[in-house]
Chain A
Amino acid sequence: MSERTAVIASRVGLHARPAGIFVAAVGELPIEVTIAMAGEPADDAMDASSILSIMSLGASNGDTVVLRADGEGADEALDSLVKILETDLDAE
């Protein structure tokens, strides 16, 4: 199981446009990814391809989330997702 942490950079937190961009990126990947707030048990992690699940996390600007994935290319995939989360997508 690969794991990465990311600090939410978008000003509005992980909703609206940033959530949409993130979920669309997850959808492009061949592997399944889960997301959870840092410190929460891995068992409670949510499906990162579900925008409704992402929204229910309520991740705000500055919060740390944990991404997990298994399988070939998991590390690279998670790296690309971390990059998205750590860009202030509201700035565009």
Chain B
Amino acid sequence: MQTLSGSSRPDQTGADTTETGRTFAGVGVSPGRIIGSILLMPQAVSEPVAGERLAERTSSDEASAALRAAAKAVQVDLGHRAVGASGAGREVLEATALMANDPMLIKAAVKLITNGVSAERAIWEAAASVAEMLHNLGGYMAERATDVLDVRRRIVAELRGVPAPGIPYSDTPFILVGEDLAPADTATLDPAKVLALVTSSGGPQSHTAIIARALGLPAVVAAVGVDGLSDGTQVFVDGAAGTILVDPGADEVALAQAWEKTAAALATFDGTGRLKDGHLVPLLSNVGGAKDAVAAAAAGAQGVGLLRTEFCFLERDTEPSLAEQVEAYRGVFDAFPGKKVVVRTLDAGADKPLPFLTDASEANPALGVRGYRTDFTSPGVLERQLEAIAQAADGTEAQVWVMAPMISTAEEAEHFAGLCTVAGLTTPGVMVEVPSAALTAASILEHVDFVSLGTNDLTQYAMAADRQLGPLAALNTPWQPAVLQLIRLTVAGSRDEGHDKPVGVCGEAAADPALAVVLVGLGVSTLSMTARALSAVGAVLASVTLPEAQQLAALALTAHSATDARRLVREKLSVLDDLGP
């Protein structure tokens, strides 16, 4: 791996033939067969040790010179990227390039170096002061503080002789390989440049899987060892089988070409989810903002089964204003006039920390103050959000439903329903993701009008397996019989309550066509998924009758293992062969 200034690190290319023919096995999370060369996600840049001094044989002149060279190199690199970008992205890169070599910043760092501080620590501290100064100016300037911190990471990486942080820059498309991908990493992911996603860790419901499906990229997770490969290695990725083959041959080329043809031929969703015998199963979409919503509507989604509202709150120091929220929600509602839009109230915490709301020092974030529970520690935020949702709903023609995440008891459900009534929202519901909610669904449904199963977290909690840990990937699949039982029990709870209130699924499980059949067979009434999955799920549902779906559900419930359950169901769905595995 080369650094920008060409410092002496051996350049490893894919010409290392000891890897030829080697296969890595992981969990396939997004189908597709593709060949490409890989680029590795760089390690995150760690803070230089506080108080770090100049190395024994390094003079402050040498360190200052190294710093200037590093800053210049970063400026040049960002300048190149700016040329390749356009519009607002280009402007930001040009301004950031100037920041990298800013006289004021460098001067402040050099001053520290002259006092004996190491170059890395000096730039770290100097940039921290500048970022704070900008932050205190508020408004547009405060937002530039993050750019200064990004520049800081790049300069430190350059000084250390390691690759710059973030998604690697490349003129040509590549396959991205890393340990795991966080939402912050993938924010800048360009599907025109990235062909597939491969991680050595993570599970089927990790963020990597979610974003791969949303973008329609082949992806494999939990492929142990794959991040030991070198940049430039040619690989064949099979996102359904979950395999990565190094130095593919003619067979793989043929498979990749066949996939390209199939993907193109997949018919678009006709806008009405139904089984072969006409039993209706509305197919809705999971969206994270107005742009997603518009795309989902264009893809034929029958509504929004999950509006993730975090987009309004992320990357901010303080709560968004009522007006900001109203505008943001309306953008989504306006894309679905006359159709259902289910809004999930703020789901902060765990892998979605919000500095002003959640506590990053919790020992067990997944079991912590997250989702609905933030109302206990920061009362008021939820009430204001509900008010904003109600106001936004007033101005549009969408049918707005609202649900709270991380509800654990009937008492919480009742309290949430009360808050909705106060805000003027008439259709309250809750997410079933904590196992206790699945087991007490009948009581919960006495207080709310619907529930929606969040299978990603439900699986994590039921199987006591962290979603992000590769070694636990096999446990973290919704095909686990225990998870299917919890889904069955939730539906049974709805029937026991006496009004057959709807039980929907909005987790990743709904996007798996074979599992979608099982869910319908278990009595789930609606499915909500990333818009890209609509056509495949629609096609497979249309190939079975309700009795057939119920038989397949029974087969899955009584299977010996998750692997067996999946295999047994898929065997019976011949339509899957046409769609590609």
Contact = CB atoms under 8 A, between A and B. Distances in A.
Interface stretch (B96-104, B289-297, B312-320): B96-104
Nearest to A27: B98
Interface string B94-138: 110011001111000000000000000000000000100110010
A47 interface: yes
A15 B98 contact: no
A53 interface: yes
A52 B104 contact: yes
Contacts of B99: 51-52
A59 to B, nearest CB: 11
Contacts of A56: 133-134, 137, 141
B360 to A, nearest CB: 28
B376 interface: no
Given A47-B104, A58-B137, A52 B148 contact: yes
B144 interface: yes
B52 interface: no
A30 to B, nearest CB: 15
21 contacts: A12-B140, A15-B140, A16-B95, A17-B94, A19-B95, A20-B91, A20-B98, A46-B104, A47-B103, A49-B103, A50-B102, A50-B105, A51-B98, A51-B102, A52-B99, A52-B102, A52-B134, A53-B103, A55-B134, A55-B137, A55-B141
A47 B144 CA distance: 19
A23 B91 CA distance: 13
A23 B98 contact: yes
A22 B98 CA distance: 11
Interface in A35-50: 46-47, 49-50
Contacts of B140: 12, 15-16
Contacts, number: 49
Given A23-B98, A52-B130, A58-B141, A17 B104 contact: no
A46 B98 CA distance: 16
Contacts of B91: 16-17, 20
Nearest to B95: A20
A31 interface: no
A29 interface: no
Contacts of A20: 91, 94-95, 98
Interface residues of B, number: 17
A12 B134 CA distance: 17
Contacts of A19: 95
Nearest to A56: B133
Interface string A9-26: 000100111011001100
A52 B105 contact: yes
A77 B222 CA distance: 60
A78 B99 CA distance: 23
Contact of A15 (B102, B130, B141): B141
A36 B373 CA distance: 50
A55 B103 contact: no
Given A15-B140, A52-B99, 8 more contacts: A16-B140, A23-B98, A51-B102, A52-B130, A53-B103, A55-B137, A55-B144, A56-B137
Nearest to B151: A52
B150 to A, nearest CB: 14
A50 B94 contact: no
A53 B104 contact: yes
A50 B148 CA distance: 13
B141 A50 contact: no
Contact of B98 (A12, A24, A47): A24
Nearest to B133: A56
Contacts of B98: 20, 23-24, 51
A19 B102 CA distance: 13
Most buried by A among B95, B105, B141, B148: B95
Interface in B162-182: none
Most buried by A among B99, B133, B134: B99
A81 B103 CA distance: 19
B483 to A, nearest CB: 49
A80 to B, nearest CB: 19
A51 B95 contact: yes
Contacts of B104: 46-47, 50, 52-53
Nearest to A15: B140
Nearest to B88: A16
Contacts of A23: 98
A17 B88 CA distance: 9
A53 B137 CA distance: 12
Contacts of B134: 52, 55-56
A16 B95 CA distance: 7
